[in-house]
Amino acid sequence: MTGAVESSPPRRTRIQLEKRELILEAALEVFSTNGFRGSTIDQIAEAAGMSKPNLLYYFRRKEDIHETLMQRLLDTWLAPLRELDDIGDPLTELRSYIRRKLEMARDFPRESRLFANEILQGAPRIMPMLEGELKTLVDEKANVIKGWMRAGKIARTDPWHLIFSIWATTQHYADFDVQVRAVLGPDRGGDGRFEDAARFLEQLFIDGLKPKG
Amino acid sequence: MTGAVESSPPRRTRIQLEKRELILEAALEVFSTNGFRGSTIDQIAEAAGMSKPNLLYYFRRKEDIHETLMQRLLDTWLAPLRELDDIGDPLTELRSYIRRKLEMARDFPRESRLFANEILQGAPRIMPMLEGELKTLVDEKANVIKGWMRAGKIARTDPWHLIFSIWATTQHYADFDVQVRAVLGPDRGGDGRFEDAARFLEQLFIDGLKPKG
DNA sequence: CTAACGTTTGTCCAACCGGTCAAAAATTTG
DNA sequence: CAAATTTTTGACCGGTTGGACAAACGTTAG
């Protein structure tokens, strides 16, 4: 279906590489705050400091920008989960996974919102990837976690829902940032809120996962 | 600013009440899956089984529909938290709050997604409510929880972030439903997933909150 | 029946939006 | 320098969208 293989990556000049980068940066900003349909090419062009036809010289269609953005996103987005490995102490592994995810929510909130927007609208453009690459990765890591449970290293529970809950709690601080700030108020809604969140989440997850005894 | 007080609620015939209800139902469906800008009046009108000008006879502007929808949403959305009270056993109170929130994600996913869409885009239309009504309610309940902590009924932690984590984990099953289904696959992604989620969340939160010893 | 009122729709419009195109401007190459 | 190539832009186009409007239709009360 969408299998149009780019047989040879199109040759690009230095200017093209730079301008494409500029556009993608601007588009990330615009798409993540307005959604795909809510964003106009003009907005992106203005944010990138160029005219609309000029932008369309680098990306032929609006959807091409979004697609490129999404492809890049997914690689970096799943990196923390890929790092979750069987070599260290289970509780330490999970704790650092949670920390890495929370750091991504802090450092890449726009990417998180871009992803959330896409999923919220039914993931029309990345569904195959969810059912393929993502499912495979999660199943694999769920099995790792199951091994830890069998070995008595962490409490027995559902590994898939455990992963969901880590995603939900950490991404919440990027996706629902305005709500978090509004509720915490000007005092506690500042930069320190991620430290507080990290402390809280560690306590919640670790104490809940610690094997009894 | 927006303080146009509706001095007298406009008199409405039976037909008007019914048709407005029909439109709001259709609009909830359309807005929650396409976002505000991604939805057209025509789509809503078609979903409500009437012509566009006819719809505009009942709601003068597209934004009026969205606003009405949002006002209704907020009341029902905060109901579970309002019920969180100081009268029962703290752990039981929290457990049933989590259950109620998860039930809302299951029974009203469209409302959840409508809300998520609004927050994701910076909450342009409900910011005052977040800083006012919502913050007040959360602060109040956070103090209740603090009391439980002081009394040694639950582990000491940050009540605000505890509430955030309950929101995040439960709403995740509505907002990220397609992802959850895709990852769980056709076998486990069916109706039973909410039972599994309920079991998991109960274990995660309660065991993590249980006072030591 | 008929006048008054409430409801519905076809038609129209102006603004917006994604995208094209040809020509101008800038840059690179020989 | 001049030719070739790449980059930039103004003007334009067709389709969509939110919304206005008047005329038609339906309903109800006198």
Cβ pair A182:B113 closer than 8 A: no
Q: Give the rounded percent of residues in chain A with a pLDDT score beyond 90.
A: 85
Q: Indicate if A165 and A182 belong to the same structural domain.
A: yes
Torsion-angle region of residue B210: left (phi > 0), alpha (psi -120 to 50) or beta? beta
On whether the CB atoms of residues A83 and A100 are closer than 8 A, the answer is yes
Residues with CB under 7 A from strand C: A 15, 39-42, 52-53, 56, 60-63; B 13, 15-16, 19, 50-54, 56-57
Torsion-angle region of residue B113: left (phi > 0), alpha (psi -120 to 50) or beta? alpha
Q: Indicate if B31 and B119 belong to the same structural domain.
A: no
What is the pLDDT at residue A97? 96
Q: Give the rounded percent of residues in chain B with a pLDDT score beyond 70.
A: 91
What is the pLDDT at residue B11? 53
Q: Residue B138 is nearest to which of A139, A183, A208, comparing CB atoms?
A: A183
Q: Indicate if A16 and A99 belong to the same structural domain.
A: no
- The answer to whether position B6 is within a domain reads no
Cβ pair B169:A171 closer than 8 A: no
Length of chain B: 213
Q: What is the CATH number of the domain that holds B27?
A: 1.10.10.60
On whether the CB atoms of residues A13 and B101 are closer than 8 A, the answer is no
Question: Per residue in A74-95, pLDDT tens?
Answer: 989 999 999 999 998 999 999 9
Residue A51 belongs to domain spanning: 11-60
Residue range B100-122: mean pLDDT, rounded: 97
Q: Indicate if A145 and A167 belong to the same structural domain.
A: yes
On whether the CB atoms of residues A149 and A142 are closer than 8 A, the answer is no
Q: Indicate if A97 and A75 belong to the same structural domain.
A: yes
Residue range B141-162: mean pLDDT, rounded: 94
Confidence tier at A9 by pLDDT (50, 70, 90): low
- The answer to whether position A2 is within a domain reads no
On whether the CB atoms of residues B84 and B93 are closer than 8 A, the answer is yes
Q: Is B35 on the interface with A (CB under 8 A)?
A: yes
Cβ pair B127:A182 closer than 8 A: yes
Q: Indicate if B142 and B196 belong to the same structural domain.
A: yes
Which nucleotide comes closest to A53 if you measure CA to C1'? Answer: D9
Q: Structure tokens of B117? A: 């869409």
Residue range B32-57: mean pLDDT, rounded: 96
Question: Per residue in B164-176, pLDDT tens?
Answer: 999 999 999 999 9
| Packed helices B159-175 and A109-120: angle between N→C axes, nearest 10 degrees | 40
Neighbours of A58 (CB within 10 A): 20
What is the pLDDT at residue B97? 96
Q: Indicate if B140 and B185 belong to the same structural domain.
A: yes
Burial B114-134 (b: 16+ CB within 10 A, else e): bbbbbbbbebebbeebbbeeb
Q: Indicate if A129 and A51 belong to the same structural domain.
A: no
Q: Indicate if B99 and B50 belong to the same structural domain.
A: no
Distance from the Cα of B52 to chain A's closest Cα (Å) equals: 21
- The answer to whether position B9 is within a domain reads no
Please report, rounded to whole angstroms, the spatial distance between the CA atom of protein residue A16 and the C1' atom of nucleotide D1: 28
Number of domains in chain B: 2
Q: How far is the C-alpha of A130 from the C-alpha of A135, rounded, in Å?
A: 6
- Listed in sequence order, the residues at least 6 apart from A123 whose beta carbon sits closer than 8 Å to its beta carbon are A130, B178, B179, B182
Q: Which of residues 45-104 of B touch A (CB under 8 A)?
A: none
B55-59: long-range pairs with CB below 8 Å, 24+: B55/B23, B58/B16, B58/B19, B58/B20, B58/B23, B59/B20, B59/B23
Residue B40 phi, psi (nearest 5): -115, 155
Q: Is B135 on the interface with A (CB under 8 A)?
A: yes
Please report, rounded to whole angstroms, the spatial distance between the CA atom of protein residue A10 and the C1' atom of nucleotide C30: 25
Confidence tier at A8 by pLDDT (50, 70, 90): very low
Q: How is residue B136 annotated by DSSP?
A: H
- The answer to whether position B8 is within a domain reads no
Q: What is the CATH number of the domain that holds A151?
A: 1.10.357.10
Residues with CB under 7 A from strand D: A 13, 15-16, 19, 50-54, 57; B 39-42, 52-53, 56, 60-63
Q: Indicate if B205 and B101 belong to the same structural domain.
A: yes
Cβ pair B134:A199 closer than 8 A: no
Q: Indicate if A46 and A89 belong to the same structural domain.
A: no
Burial B187-213 (b: 16+ CB within 10 A, else e): eebeeebeeebbebbbbbbbbbbeeee
Residue range B139-167: mean pLDDT, rounded: 95
**What residue spans of B84-209 are helical by DSSP H?**
90-107, 109-120, 127-129, 135-150, 159-175, 177-188, 193-209
Name every chain A residue with its beta carbon within 8 A of the beta carbon of B122.
33, 178
Name every chain A residue with its beta carbon within 8 A of the beta carbon of B124.
none
Question: Per residue in B175-186, pLDDT tens?
Answer: 999 999 999 999
- The answer to whether position B1 is within a domain reads no
Last residue of a domain, one of B28, B60, B92: B60
Last residue of a domain, one of B60, B90, B114: B60
Q: Is B115 on the interface with A (CB under 8 A)?
A: no
ipTM here = 0.91
- The answer to whether position A102 is within a domain reads yes
Does residue A13 have a pLDDT over 90? no
Q: Indicate if A94 and A32 belong to the same structural domain.
A: no
